[in-house]
Structure 1
Amino acid sequence: MSSVITTTTELDGRALVISLNRPEARNAVNSQVARELAAAFDRLDADPDLRVGILRGEGRGFSAGMDLKAFLEGDFPAFEDRGFGGFAQKPPRTPVIAAIEGFAVAGGLEMALACDLIVAASDAKLGLPEVKRSLIAAGGGLLRLAQRIPYHVAAEIALTGDPVPVERLYQVGLVNRVAEPGRALEVALALAAQLVDNAPLGLEGSKHVLERAADWGLERGWQEQEPIMMRVNQSEDAREGATAFAERRPPVWRGR
């Protein structure tokens, strides 16, 4: 069976583009997709040259979420302990951008929410329709929306099950960039270009703190942040960053 995930490198080999490749099934996620996504994100974290990942969908949309036909046959779209899609519960250490065309609904939106940045085409449909099927968005959708946008907006998305215009989600801060239809990947690559020159340890450490800050709270956060800050600030790359600044040249990062 051919792979349902395709990967390509961009930006001089520093960005990994991961494409959901089941357009005939609206890029719905089954256990095979989850397993292959987990492997793709493992590759992203393992390659020291890769600084950012971009997740997108082939065909008309990003993803319609869980493959309901497979679900009825007992196939659950998770992998090991990583949650929905093989990463929603345990995202990679490396920053990831979601590039959304067409639609990202149900688990499709949950995968986008598991990414660190979201680029969406202006005509894309984003929503959590689970309540219309007597389900709940248990792949992180409810948990992440409640942390990231105003409660009443999150409640509207979760309780009506209806899609919300991209422009409104941009206004409340859930979407980082709005692209013209057909240009989400292009805009995502431009956003990735703003990340790839940055220090890999700084990117990884900053993401680690950002992901956990809401759970830690401010007082505990200072304590949890300390060892991460020390590891990054005492690295060879930190010295290289300061030296390169003083010498007015681009830094050469080694990830250590």
Structure 2
Amino acid sequence: MSIDVSVSDHIALIVLNRPERMNAFDRAHYLALSEAFARVRDDPGIRVAVVTGQGERAFSTGADLKDLPFSLELSELMLTQNGLLPNRGMEVWKPIVSAVNGYCLAGGMCLMLGTDIRIAAEHAVFGLSEVKRGLIAANGGVNRVVRQLPYPIAMELLLTGDTLDAAGAERWGLVNRVVPMAQLMDEAMRVARRIAANAPLAVQAAKEVAQRGQDLDMRTGLRLEQVMLRMLQGSEDAREGVAAFAEKRQPVFQAR
């Protein structure tokens, strides 16, 4: 059992490493994944993360039903800050790229819905199958899928528990693009490198404004943009970006 994390060139690679169980999560895995994303959030040397599953069969099939607790103390429901993930409340303003390498179901799809850019292998399959087990996609799945897909498409997934193939996911905008499995990680890392080359504070500000703006009226959202822009204009990275443009060279950003 492991959630593997490695960092290189400002990019964190998070691998859900439990292929013998289709990269399903037991309680220990959920905790380890929360710790991995907290590291991404808090490490100033990390500018972007890529998350994928081990092997070619599954990104993740969600919660391991053999480990699913049915008798939690009600008091645990009140511990709203325990074991947070990007799809259920953790604020990670660094971009997260999903490399979907197979089955992306239930909690696995909920996790993907909390990421920013998604690259899928041609054989990837997507679904929120919780209703078939007497449950709902409560780790952000219900709320996120109706915001990210047309309402009738989202409701068909939620209410039938049926799956969507990679072509359908691309058609409805659930993923950015579909590539052969052999190209999946190269494409995901290519996108991550392009993000990591940009000014990290500006990237994080853009993500935060985009996400918070979904819950704001337009006037308030525009004001938030102005405040963030004014903050960035005083940064060393903004000065470096302008200087590099004038000098026709690549900028060297320091997140300052």
Same fold (TM over 0.5): yes
2:255 is equivalent to residue 255 of structure 1: yes
Query: Percentage identity across aligned positions?
Result: 36
Number of matched residues?
250
Matched, 1:55 2:51: yes
- The DSSP-based 3-state class of the residue aligned with 1:62 is strand
Q: Displacement, 1:40?
A: 1.5
Distance, in Å, in 2 between the alignment partners of 1:174 and 1:54 is 17
* CA spacing shift, 1:55–1:74, aligned 2, 3 Å: farther
Question: Following the alignment from structure 2 to structure 1, what is the Cα–Cα distance between the partners of residues 148 and 5?
Answer: 29
Equivalent residue for 2:5?
7
Q: Structure 1 stretch 22-31 or stretch 103-112: which is displaced more? A: 22-31
Shift of 1:115: 0.7
Partner of 2:243: 243
Aligned-residue Cα RMSD (Å) equals: 2.1
Structure 1 distance, partners of 2:39, 2:118, is: 21
Equivalent-residue separation in structure 2 for 1:26 and 1:91 (angstroms): 27
Q: CA deviation at 1:73?
A: 6.2
**Counterpart Cα distance in 1 of 2:81 and 2:97:** 18
Q: What 5-or-longer segments of structure 2 have no aligned partner?
A: none
How far has the Cα of 1:101 moved from its partner? 0.9
Q: Provide the C-alpha distance between the structure 2 equivalents of 1:37 and 1:46, rounded to a whole number of angstroms.
A: 14
CA deviation string 1:213-252 (max 9, x = no partner): 2211312212333322222222111111111111111111
What SS class does the counterpart of residue 131 from structure 2 fall into? Answer: helix
Q: 2:193 is matched with which residue?
A: 193
Partner of 1:133: 133
SS across alignment from 1:108: helix
Q: Distance in 1 between matches of 2:102 and 2:232?
A: 39
1:70 match: 67
User: For structure 1, which segment, 183-192 or 84-93, has the greater mean C-alpha deviation from structure 2 after superposition?
Assistant: 84-93
**TM norm structure 2:** 0.90
User: What is the rounded CA distance, in whole Å, between the counterparts of 2:83 and 2:132 in structure 1?
Assistant: 19
Give SS of 2:130's match.
helix
Instruction: Report if the CA contact (8 A) 1:109-1:141 is conserved.
Output: yes
Deviations 1:58-105 (A, max 9, x none): 1321111012111146579x9x64577733221422100011111110
Between the aligned partners of 1:182 and 1:105, the Cα distance in structure 2 is 21
CA separation in 2, counterparts of 1:184 and 1:85? 27
Measured in 2, the distance between the counterparts of 1:109 and 1:120 equals 12
Deviates more, 1:108-117 or 1:24-33: 24-33
Change (3 A) 1:48 1:174: same
